[in-house]
A and B are shown apart, each in its own frame.
Chain A
Amino acid sequence: MARIFCYIVHKAGVPDDSAFELAAAARKIDPATAPTAILTGSGADLDAACKAVSASYTEIWKIANEALSYPNAELVRKALLKVLPSGSVVLVAHQHFGIDLAPGLSIKTNSAFVSDVLDIAGAEGATLKVVRQEFGGQVSAHVGCDISSGAVVTIRPGAFKPLEGAPISGGVVDKSSEIGTLAAGRRYLETVVAEAGDVDITKYNVLVSIGRGIMEKDNVTIAQELADALGAAVSCSRPVVDAKWMEKSRQVGSSGKTVKPKVYLACGISGAFQHLAGIKGSPFLIAINKNPKAPIFQVADVGIVDDILEFLPELTNKVLELRSVAAK
């Protein structure tokens, strides 16, 4: 089996949650061999991130270079090409950086590419069998991937549970000297931070989160009334923002906010992984959806097949009833 590398995304010295999920995925591909982490960056942040992942990886390759201070996929790719042995299997998290890096990397390493992998179904000889989703998560597929000349695989964030076990103490190998100078046709300028919005959904214990099932803008009040009664906030999925029914600052997901509530009421949300990627900290997930086949029911703790436009008002009434009883 080829050597497995996990490219770790980190920010301000803290590795992304996916760092530990990639380690788990690598073990599932090849239970016999420990994967190698690769981190790029510069300065103290990089060192801190390397240290943080050393609890899960036996070997960490560090590539320090001023040009890599901000993760520019083209520069990272050029750096990786300098150090990766041929035939490597490289795992990257399937988020905005991975989407930028991975396809091009597979071309340059002349290896197979398979993206957004949810599970590893097994490896036989040179064929790696993985599980993917298509058609917005309505159908899953087994995909066979010839890894005889290596592979680049992007792993869906949250799909693999980090391995449990005693922390190890991996060693850091500094590969910086092999890189040389780096230049790219794309230059990072700045990050424009999204407007904060009126409500900070990351601060609430309970979120009433709405999706396409809310049907129209005026119905947002139905969710708001429930949230008010519960002392919760209303968050939403991407389609609601695209339709301009709610502010972008309320969006949960890979292109929105990451939230860690205790209870998450997914109302009329189908459960696309981009949305689920924004829900962290394993909240108690209650899904209400008209469609019994909605993928959200696969990840929810409790599911109710009902129309949210009718269910939520009743829930609100019940809360208010309890509140008024309690007040007496």
Chain B
Amino acid sequence: MVGIESASQVTSWLVTGRILFLMIHVLGIMCFAYIVARRMVPLLRAERDFRFDHPWLRSGRVLKFWLGQWKQPRYKLAGTLHISIFAGFIVLAVRAFSVLIVGVSENFVMPGLAGRAGPVYDIITDYAATIVLLCMVIAVIRRLVFRPARYAVPARYGKAHTADAIFLLSLIAILMVADSLFAAARAAAPSQPGQSIETLAAFSLPWILQKALVSTSLSLSLPTLGRLYFGAYLVHELTFYFLLCYRPFGIQFHVETSLFNIYFAKLDREILKPVRWGVADEHLDQVKSFGVKTFEDFTWKHMLDFYSCADCGRCSDNCPANAVGRPLSPRFIGIKARDYAFQHYPVIGRAQNGAALVGGKDSGGIYSEDEIWSCTTCGACEAECPLLVEYIDKIVDLRRGMVDDGNVPQSLQKPLKALESRGNPYGKMEKKKADWTNAKDFQQVCPVKTLNDHNGADTLYFVDSITSYDDRMQSIGRATAKILSHVGENFGILGAAEKDSGHEVRRFGEETLFMALRDHNVDAIKASGVRRIVTADPHAYNALKHDYKDVPPVEHISQVIASELKAGKIKFNPLDDKNNVYTYHDPCYLGRHNQVYDDPRDVLDAIPGLKRVEMTRCRDRSFCCGGGGLMLFYEPKEDQRMGVKRVQMAAEAGANVIVTACPFCMVNIEDAIKVAGLEGKMTAIDLAELVDQQIARESQKVA
């Protein structure tokens, strides 16, 4: 015998290693293939989803979000750990493959690694295994000792996931140790002439193990080393296949699914999923059921999302609804659906259709009604998810299902009915829609014309319901009009012909009503003959930009101000009170959903004497104020208001003036200032109001 036998040559219980390992391979792979095939069953019964376009774009996103781990560093420690483990796995994947083959064919060398590359690669893998093991140790310590809050499982969502996590981490650790021990044992055997000497990377795990094995205190005999080598190999084999087949039963499935999940991830996030892929609006009436009522109503991609969730908890950690104790945690929207899939589509046994998803536990549902209505569709969860899991579409689809069944909270029925009959959620008369333009002081300085039939205006100011009817928000409307007038814009409003943009109507699942509102507005806009649209309401902005089709380009007033500022048409007077500290609150539908982050900030920074600070949660991590549109009518179960948390964040940042650029943010924040007891210490102002107040006008110069 020369050195130690290769694993494939070892014969025990009359079976050669080669046969044994071949059997393990075949069994392991068959088992895995079977499990994955079973996991695909619900996806085949799911609704359609068009995700096969733009292969290059999608591949590029795989490089960025999958290979490049783009979103991981948003959480520094967890991100670093994950990137290390991910990199280690990528490196070790080749080695794992070749090691598996070695069990069957001892002289196998991975193509490309035959020459000089081989030893270099070996050294890298030695370190990779070491780093992965270290990461496992750190991860276990985090899980057991430091216990980051976002991993906790609130009682209403079931048992803690810690045991499962530790089990999986341990399996990976065992795999690393077995792999290293296997290499160490081989290297520890006395080298024979003619064999290349294996060099292990210094201070790597295999190196340390090798040093231990050859140390005189152990004085292992060659057969013992041989058994160790074989044993380590066997453990590695078994662990590898166990892990492979165990992964599809839990969060580790993301190792397999993540690549596909990112490839097929939604490209145009800001556009809401249609009610039914492949069904045109005008044929929707023929669709029997709207939205998601049972699990099979989800699209296959949404099911893939459930499989791909790694339970990292970042979505819920950023979710404002979760933060204020509403019964919603996006993490568990996915986890509960995944568990549902596992239960109703078991690996062994028959698949069975289940009850409606929404409803109490008594009726077999997995989601409560309040859970589904609690979402403000702010998008914080989606901005965070490293695996690009989609939440808003699922929530909206679940709501569509509830609306279709008539299952709508009483608090929302009244505004919805008013929207249907009057075109605004307040039930106010259409003829009063332009009343905000009639304020005496305002009318004299800035008459606003109502557009009908191509009367020559270039720009439409789309006001939307809240700014038209709410006494407080009308001031934003007037400020917006004055700014447009100052920059010499030839603009007008639709007045009574303007109905609610329907932005929240759509996001609350009432698609048919939304379409009615949209169609009405599109006709009115076209009839006005304008070439562009301006709005000060980010919800209207988002609706006009993404939910409407065939309307002129739309801009938010902050974009208009920013560009007019650059063009020199707007100049600012210095602030009178220089003691105030301003902070800008990003409205969800201006920032996160439309990436307008810099324009409002540029405008603020252009006001002489304005001191501005950033809140910790800003830009794409902005914290929702509480939600707009119909969310103002919904009565959530919550411990605290989102707005209160938000004004406290502003206070922590050292600000005493919150600037926002959305009438709904204004409602929520002004309310929250009162509730938080910060009246007199904190104020809120809309960007348009502040600009209107600071604009340097000709007449003033003269004066």
Contact = CB atoms under 8 A, between A and B. Distances in A.
Contact of A218 (B410, B411, B641): B641
Contacts of B410: 243
Interface in B662-703: 674-675
B635 A217 contact: yes
B510 to A, nearest CB: 21
A243 B414 CA distance: 12
Contacts of B675: 218
A313 interface: yes
Contacts of B635: 216-217, 243
A313 B674 CA distance: 10
Q: Which range contains the number of B residues in contact with the other chain?
A: under 10
B674 A243 contact: no
A243 B411 contact: yes
Nearest to B632: A216
B487 to A, nearest CB: 34
Interface string B635-652: 100000100000000000
Interface in A209-249: 216-218, 243
A216 B638 CA distance: 14
Nearest to B634: A216
Contacts of B641: 218
Most B-side CB within 10 Å, residue of A217, A218, A243, A313: A218
Contacts of A313: 674
Interface size class of A (residues with CB under 8 A): under 10
B268 to A, nearest CB: 35
Contacts of A216: 635
A232 B410 CA distance: 31
A216 B631 CA distance: 12
A243 B410 CA distance: 8
A313 B635 CA distance: 22
B626 to A, nearest CB: 11
A213 to B, nearest CB: 14
Contacts of A217: 635
A243 B635 CA distance: 10
Contacts of A243: 410-411, 635
Contacts of A218: 641, 675
A216 B672 CA distance: 13
A216 B674 CA distance: 14
B679 to A, nearest CB: 8
B16 to A, nearest CB: 75
A243 B411 CA distance: 8
A15 B673 CA distance: 52
Contacts of B411: 243
Interface string A180-217: 00000000000000000000000000000000000011
A318 to B, nearest CB: 15
A313 B673 CA distance: 13
A216 B411 CA distance: 10
Nearest to B633: A216
A97 to B, nearest CB: 29
A218 B667 CA distance: 14
A217 B411 CA distance: 11
A143 to B, nearest CB: 28
Interface string A249-290: 000000000000000000000000000000000000000000
A218 B671 CA distance: 10
A218 B676 CA distance: 12
Residue among A216, A217, A313 having the largest count of chain B Cβ atoms under 10 Å: A216
A83 to B, nearest CB: 46
Interface string B34-48: 000000000000000
A218 B668 CA distance: 12
A127 to B, nearest CB: 37
Contacts of B674: 313
A308 B674 CA distance: 14
Nearest to B411: A243
A289 B674 CA distance: 20
A269 B27 CA distance: 75
Interface string B390-421: 00000000000000000000110000000000
A322 to B, nearest CB: 19
A217 B674 CA distance: 15
A163 to B, nearest CB: 44
A216 B671 CA distance: 12
A218 B635 CA distance: 9
Interface string A299-324: 00000000000000100000000000
A315 to B, nearest CB: 14
Nearest to A310: B674
A218 B410 CA distance: 17
A243 B409 CA distance: 11
A65 B635 CA distance: 51
A218 B644 CA distance: 12
A243 B413 CA distance: 12
Interface in B233-273: none
Nearest to A243: B411
8 contacts: A216-B635, A217-B635, A218-B641, A218-B675, A243-B410, A243-B411, A243-B635, A313-B674
5 closest A-B pairs by CB: A217-B635, A216-B635, A218-B675, A218-B641, A243-B411
Given A216-B635, A217-B635, 6 more contacts: A218-B641, A218-B675, A243-B410, A243-B411, A243-B635, A313-B674
